[in-house]
Amino acid sequence: MTDDLHNLWQSFLDSIAVGDDARTEKAAMVLGRLGDVALPPLRGLLAGADPDRRWWAARVLAAVATPAARQLLVTALTDADSDVRACAAQGLGELRAVEAVDELVHCLADLSPLVARIAADSLARIGPPATPALIAALQGGETSTRAGAARALSVIQPPDAVPALCAALDDPSAIVTYYAEEALERMEVGLMLVQP
């Protein structure tokens, strides 16, 4: 590690330690511009015991945005801390990381409602490439998974999801039915169904 990188890294760690989020964010963005050079210390931070440091590691990984950084973010989706998982899901959505679709679908059933909601939002951001996995989740996942899938599909509005969304109108969960109805309304499918 060069002296400049070492100093930047130390400033980043010090600002986390004192809770200076503004300073930490600035350092995170500078570290993010370094690309894969920043990955070795971030990998160590992500594996550490401090959830606050792990959260900031995920934040920097989203700024790095390289394939290797994205893979580390996917790994962070299984972190023990829900805030870290939420940060990773948010970053993957912002990056429109197609390679994370299956893991984000799995997060729709996260015990943390925040993580589940961010995963649904991130899948919606990824868009059409997430459609097949979302349709499968809508047809066979847990209630929270089905609801999150319907919610994401209501944003993407893919025509090939119409049969699964129509079937979800009979779902035993009111929340799944609500999001399926919302999706179909946004797609103006309901109007077509009632026309003579």
Tens of pLDDT, residues 40-95: 999 999 999 999 999 999 999 999 999 999 999 999 999 999 999 999 999 999 99
Site of tokens 């590691």: 57
Residues contacting residue 66 through CB under 8 Å, at least 6 positions apart: 35, 36, 39
- What's the rounded Cα separation, in Å, for the pair 156 and 186? 10
Q: What is the pLDDT of residue 8?
A: 84
Domains of the chain with CATH codes: 1-96 (1.25.10.10), 127-196 (1.25.10.10)
Structure tokens at 43: 């990998």
Confidence of residue 1 (pLDDT cuts 50, 70, 90): low
Amino acid identity of 16?
Answer: I
Provide the 8-state DSSP code for 38. G
Confidence of residue 3 (pLDDT cuts 50, 70, 90): confident
- What's the rounded Cα separation, in Å, for the pair 14 and 5? 14
Q: Would you say the pTM of this structure is higher than 0.85?
A: yes
pLDDT tens-digit readout, 154-186:
999 999 999 999 999 999 999 999 999 999 999
- CA within 13 Å, CB half, 117: 4
Q: What is the pLDDT of residue 189?
A: 81
Structure tokens at 179: 């999001």
Q: What is the pLDDT of residue 5?
A: 77
